[in-house]
Amino acid sequence: MSLEETRLFQHFLLQDQAASKNVAGSHFLPEWLRLCSDAIQITYQSLVNMPFKGDKEAAVGTLAMDAVSNVLVATRVGLWGDVPESLSILRSAIERCVQLELVIHTQRYQTAVHEMDNKFAQLDFDEAVRALGDRGKRIDKLHGLISETASHATSGRLKWNSYKRDGRTYIRFGVALDPSLAELCVFYAIDVCVSIVSAIRSAYLQDGQGYAWESEWQSIHDRYLKLNRQYRGQFENVTP
């Protein structure tokens, strides 16, 4: 039996259909997805054209690629309306992005390479949060919300098991036809996308390297700030 002949494959098709319907049913998602796409594209270009050598190349490339890979998957799952799974994956992206920011900010590339091959100690998530000060506190708050409501087998996670549409209650079965749920996931995915680009850009600039995508970055950054001013309050609490 081929995959296409299985009921599982039919469910996969349903997930992608749900993504299309959620995007079509949202006033915000088309614009937000363009921003997310642009941030991921500039990340890819920045990584494949890195001028760094040795430990810096290994540390920045490995940490950034792991973070952006998680964001890609979290975004797709989020478009299905599957909030807890999307945020669970995004939680890993947040952790990796915080490590990336700390490594670049402190230029601890040799330490990063050593700990990537062994175990994170000086550069684990908690240490990175403390070292990043106020920004670390803001990231830790979101990380904690996700951990409580989506990433672990908590009672809070069970609240995502159903959703309402047109006055009726439906069970989330890897899919939710609710654009507002997809919006929540994509909103936070953009947060991580922009943070990854910002960190990589800093890695270029600290060596006196010109950043070839500066105009694209400024456009992404301006759009991101506008997005936050308009909608941050709407998504401050990820609980249903």
- Mean pLDDT by 10-residue block, N- to C-terminus, for the chain (240 residues)? 79 93 96 96 96 96 97 96 92 93 95 94 86 78 74 71 82 89 93 94 92 97 93 70
Interatomic CA distance for residues 154 and 119, integer angstroms: 27
Cα 9 to chain centroid, rounded: 26
3-state secondary structure of 171: strand
Give the H/E segment covering residue 166: none
165 backbone dihedrals φ, ψ, rounded to 5°: -150, 125
Interatomic CA distance for residues 47 and 60, integer angstroms: 8
17 token code pair: 């259909």
Q: Can you give the pLDDT at residue 239?
A: 58
Within-domain flag for 3: no
Q: Can you give the pLDDT at residue 7?
A: 84
68 touches 43 (CB < 8 A): yes
Whose structure tokens read 């941030």? 39
Interatomic CA distance for residues 112 and 118, integer angstroms: 10
Within-domain flag for 4: no
Q: Can you give the pLDDT at residue 238?
A: 59
Interatomic CA distance for residues 68 and 137, integer angstroms: 22
150 touches 91 (CB < 8 A): yes
- Domain span at residue 26 reads 11-235
Q: Can you give the pLDDT at residue 156?
A: 72
Q: Can you give the pLDDT at residue 192?
A: 92
3-state secondary structure of 169: strand
Domain count, the chain: 1
Whose structure tokens read 């047109």? 166
164 backbone dihedrals φ, ψ, rounded to 5°: -105, 140
Within-domain flag for 6: no
Within-domain flag for 240: no
Interatomic CA distance for residues 224 and 228, integer angstroms: 6
Within-domain flag for 117: yes
19 touches 182 (CB < 8 A): yes
